[in-house]
Amino acid sequence: MATTSIPHRWKYDAFVSFRGEDIRKGFMDHMFNDFKQKGIHAFRDDRELPKGEEISPQLYKAIEESRFLIVVFSKNYASSSWCLRELVKILERKQIEDPKHEVRIIFYDAKPDVVRKQKRSYTKAFAKHDVSNRTEVDKWREALSMAANLSGWDLQDMTNGFESKFIDSISREILKKLCDGPLHVGENLVGIDFHFNKLNLSRFVGSDKVNMIGICGISGIGKTTLAKAIYNSMYVHFEGSCFCEDVKEVEEKQSLTQVQMQMIGKILKTDDLNISTVGDGSMVIKQRMACKPILLVLDDVNNVKQLEALAGSRDWFYPGSLVIFTGKDKQLLRSHKVDGIYEMESLDDYKALELFSLYAFGKRHPTEDFEKLASQVIIHLQGHPLALKIFGGLLCEKSVDVWKGQLVRLQTYPNSDILKKLRPSFDSLASDEKRMFLDIACAFIGENKDFAASVLDSSNCSASNIEVLVDKFLLTVSPIDMSLQMHDLIQCMAREIIREEFSKPENRSRRLWISSEEDILNVNKVLSGI
């Protein structure tokens, strides 16, 4: 039997069926605004299409093209034949296996049992419907019974009637499902919704221009994780998509042409590619990418050559395309004229404790015996997601004594896995930038930026290098007092680098910074005898 044509891609993340006269207007406005902030692209039929007794083909099409089909049951929902026809259509779409629509029910001020058995206001509503059209009325009754048995949210039961919390729980669950796409993002995505809120991703859906944005931050802060979550939630809105993971590493281990072939092959769905030079690859991208709106993510780019070879200009892409770059160098993306750069922040203490606890205890909060120790770990790791995961796993099911020992070690020696992630940012610096970084880490944290610059200028380190370190997220400048600040993990890495350089005479001047109290006392004895 022929079925309704199936769309090749979702146009909307969600379609919401509701009877506006029943529901407090602020509730629906709040819900749609919350969806928008979290990057959930929702169709709202009371705004986009005029209502009539019969549902228009455009509205049916909107239902077909929406991944989540949400029904809001209110006291008088059943009194609207329009709403009931929407409901029948929604449940019909649920029966189609490909694409897989997900139906969700919201019980606003009508209990599941009332809807299921058509009691109270629902009994009165059906008494008014045209009984001559018995077949359609029977379909409506059956649809209500089926829908009331589906998984849903009850305003009164879930949040005691607090609408803002209720809406947040709905949008979070939808967002979590949207992020569960073709790319493995990982477990325990704490804080993802915060980033989605700030990015306002829905503005890119249906755009008439080529959008380019950058995601920047310190190594291990979660740039790739966020980019994958964005990709998973948005690729369905584009006619082609590609996530090029770790461009820097692929170029180093293979070649830049390998990245080009991956990108072209995935978007054009072809394996018949023979690109011999980067220039040839750029020409193919320029000629072939402008045929349809695409989503392209270039993860961990670190030089101009990569940008010019993979996304040299907006003119290479079709209007409506979205290109996302992730990297550790803000100036690199700034010079490529991206529309905006999103700087990823560390997790706040509450989210940091939640993420750490998920890995250390397997739940969102620490056990009572470890609350104080867990709080100390959070203080030292300063909301760094990778470090929180690593130390959470390291301390999982360990004794209190082991925790205390690791806390002492944490303040002096960097974890090797964390160091491995952070070290490339230092290695990429020029020699004078490296020297300035180590000097600042040793002696100028907390000092005024201009004071530090004047001293460092006198030691043949250009003050402009401070801006380089800031752009590479190795250093920050406090907006309050213009003092130089550095993440504890970065400073810990600096100590380790200096330890490695002990044997070099020119670096002995920094030795006291990482020496033990006994070493310092010995030096004082020598100095006092001079």
142 flagged as catalytic: no
Q: How far apart are CA 304 and CA 339, in angstroms?
A: 17
Confidence of residue 161 (pLDDT cuts 50, 70, 90): low
- What pLDDT shows up at residue 517? 45
How do residues 255-273 score in pLDDT, each as one tens digit? 999 999 999 999 988 877 7
For residues 292-306, give the mean pLDDT.
96
Q: Is the pLDDT of residue 147 over 50?
A: yes
pLDDT band at 434 (very low <50, low <70, confident <90, very high): very high
> Mean pLDDT for the chain?
86
- Residue 181 confidence (pLDDT) above 80: no
Mean pLDDT of 93-103: 78
Show the tokens assigned to 232: 């998973």
For the stretch 373-392, pLDDT in tens is 999 999 999 999 999 999 99
**Cis bond upstream, residue 319 (ω within 30):** no
- How do residues 43-91 score in pLDDT, each as one tens digit? 886 544 444 456 678 888 899 889 899 999 999 999 988 899 999 999 9
Local structure of residue 322 (DSSP, 8 states) = E
Q: Residue 508: pLDDT band by 50, 70, 90 thresholds?
A: low
The pLDDT assigned to 415 comes to: 86
What number is the average pLDDT over the span 200-215? 93
Which of the four pLDDT bands, split at 50, 70 and 90, describes residue 461?
low
Residue whose entry in the numeric block shows the structure tokens 């940091």: 352
Q: Do 12-179 and 193-343 agree at the fold level? A: yes
Whether the predicted pLDDT of 513 surpasses 70? no
Cβ-based neighbours of 71, under 8 Å, separated by 6 or more: 16, 17, 18, 86, 87, 90, 103, 104, 105, 106, 147
220 vs 217, 223, 228, 253, 417, CA distance in Å?
A: 8, 8, 14, 21, 10
Check whether 470 has a pLDDT greater than 90. Answer: yes
Q: Is the pLDDT of residue 321 over 80?
A: yes
Please determine, for residue 312, whether its predicted confidence score (pLDDT) is greater than 90.
Answer: yes
**Matching CATH number, 428-487+507-528, of 1.10.150, 3.30.70, 1.10.357, 1.10.10:** 1.10.10
pLDDT at 456: 83
Three-state secondary-structure class, residue 462: coil
Higher pLDDT, 106 or 157: 106
The three-class DSSP label of residue 154 is strand
**pLDDT for the residue numbered 258:** 93
> Does 3.90.1170.30 match the CATH number of domain 193-343?
no
Catalytic residue among 21, 48, 54, 86: 86
Among 185-189, 371-375, 505-509, which stretch is predicted with the lowest mean pLDDT? 505-509
Read off the pLDDT of residues 219-243 as tens digits, 9 standing for 90 and up: 999 999 999 999 999 998 998 999 9
CATH 3.30.1370 fits 349-412, yes or no: no
User: So where are the chain's domains?
Assistant: 12-179, 193-343, 349-412, 428-487+507-528
DSSP string spanning 262-299? HHHHHHHT-------SHHHHHHHHHHHGGGS-EEEEE-
Measured at the alpha carbon of residue 345, what is the angle toward residues 342 and 347, in degrees to the nearest 5?
145
Q: 97 falls in which pLDDT band (50, 70, 90)?
A: low
Which has the higher per-residue pLDDT, 341 or 56?
341
Strand partners, 9: none
Degrees (nearest 5) of the Cα angle 255, 303, 434?
115
Average pLDDT over every residue of 89-107: 84
pLDDT grade, residue 453 (50/70/90)? confident
Find the helix or strand (DSSP H, E) in which 332 lies: helix 330-335
At residue 358, the pLDDT reads 94
Residue 395 in this model has a pLDDT that exceeds 60: yes
pLDDT of residue 526: 36
Q: Does domain 12-179 have CATH number 3.40.50.10140?
A: yes
Q: Is the pLDDT of residue 360 over 90?
A: yes
